[in-house]
Amino acid sequence: MKKTIFLSVIIPAYNEEENFKKGVLKEVDDYLKKQRYLWEVIIVDDGSIDQTPKLIREFIKNRQNWSLIQNPHQGKAAAVIRGFLTARGKNILFTDFDQATPITEVKKILKKIEEGYQIVIGSREIKGAKREKEPFYRHLMGKVFNFLVRILVIKGINDTQCGFKLFTSAAVTKLFSKIKVYKERKVADAYTGAFDVELLFLAKKYGFKVAEVPINWHHVKTNRVNPLKDSLRMFFDIIKIRFYDLSGEYEK
């Protein structure tokens, strides 16, 4: 009889050569190998145009718990969703390739699952969290966006955008069939959008127990964020979420 996988880890990837060379995947592997539970790691490549897929294939070829899915370039949200819908674990964690939040923080997340929560998110905004090397403009962007989210969409969550979230398989089955905003995007780029916000909004709407835990996070430099353009796009995304709710679209 096949044993149930306790934890699936989803890692989206797009042109990650530089991050790969830092040894981030080995850090993930080294940590998970020490755990007593069964686990798997699913890397979803979002149509990288560098050597990322080749490097990943070489890394995982002798690692049975690892797999690679190659998506066409559709953006980070599509890659994450593909991973979640492929995962076989009882609990499914999404974490960034650059390991801005190290995999070791999952132990804090899993404690909340043991307490009965169905969705647990890492937070950089609550007491006990640590943020390192973050540029002022990025910090300000996050503060403003989270404020707007609390006013317009979700009350009671301080940090919707941290790339470290865990969902039970039951939550995935219910929520991932409901998301709408990312599907409307016509341009495939690194922009994640309000994918996280929509999921958490739906989680609250459908009565799932959501916990927020403080994590250690360090800024990793990237040229994928356009502060002004992305902020405007995010704002319109959260307006869409509110519109869909008021118009009954999520009930269909």
- C-alpha–C-alpha distance, residues 29 and 27, integer Å: 5
Instruction: Please tell me the predicted confidence (pLDDT) of residue 221.
Output: 74
Q: Is the pLDDT of residue 188 over 60?
A: no
How much of the chain is helix, strand and coil, in % rounded to 5?
45, 20, 40
- C-alpha–C-alpha distance, residues 198 and 26, integer Å: 32
Q: Looking at residues 38-56, what average pLDDT do you find?
A: 97
91-95/164-168 β-pairing = antiparallel
Confidence at 44, pLDDT banded by 50, 70, 90: very high
- Give SS3 for 205: helix
Instruction: Please tell me the predicted confidence (pLDDT) of residue 108.
Output: 97
Instruction: Please tell me the predicted confidence (pLDDT) of residue 187.
Output: 55
Percent of the chain with pLDDT over 70: 90
Per-domain residue ranges for the chain?
Answer: 7-251
Higher pLDDT, 235 or 54: 54
Helix (H) or strand (E) holding 20: helix 17-21
Closest-CA residue to 10 (of 71, 54, 55)? 71
Instruction: Please tell me the predicted confidence (pLDDT) of residue 131.
Output: 81
Instruction: Please tell me the predicted confidence (pLDDT) of residue 136.
Output: 67
Phi-psi region of 156 (alpha: psi -120 to 50; beta: other; left: phi over 0): left
Please state the pTM of the whole predicted model.
0.91
Q: What are the backbone dihedrals phi and psi of residue 224, each rounded to the nearest 5 degrees, phi first?
A: -90, -10
Residue for token pair 């996070």? 217
Q: Looking at residues 54-83, what average pLDDT do you find?
A: 94
Q: pLDDT digit string (tens) for 118-172?
A: 999 999 988 999 888 766 666 677 777 778 888 888 888 999 989 999 999 999 9
Q: What are the backbone dihedrals phi and psi of residue 212, each rounded to the nearest 5 degrees, phi first?
A: -120, 125
Q: Is the pLDDT of residue 76 over 60?
A: yes
Q: pLDDT digit string (tens) for 199-234?
A: 999 999 999 999 999 999 887 876 666 656 777 888
Looking at residue 71, what DSSP letter applies? E
Q: What are the backbone dihedrals phi and psi of residue 131, each rounded to the nearest 5 degrees, phi first?
A: -115, 130
**What's the mean pLDDT when you consider all of the chain?**
89
Q: Residue 180's CB: how many other CB atoms inside 10 A?
A: 14
Q: pLDDT digit string (tens) for 13-39?
A: 999 999 999 999 999 999 999 999 999
Where does 7-251 sit in CATH, by number?
Answer: 3.90.550.10
Closest-CA residue to 47 (of 178, 154, 190)? 190
Closest-CA residue to 129 (of 217, 219, 211, 221)? 217
Handedness of CA 202, 208, 213, 218 (dihedral sign): negative
Instruction: Please tell me the predicted confidence (pLDDT) of residue 191.
Output: 58
DSSP secondary structure string, 136-197? Answer: HHHHHHHHHHHHHHHHHT-SS-S-S--SEEEEEHHHHHHHTTT--GGGG--S-SS--TTHHH
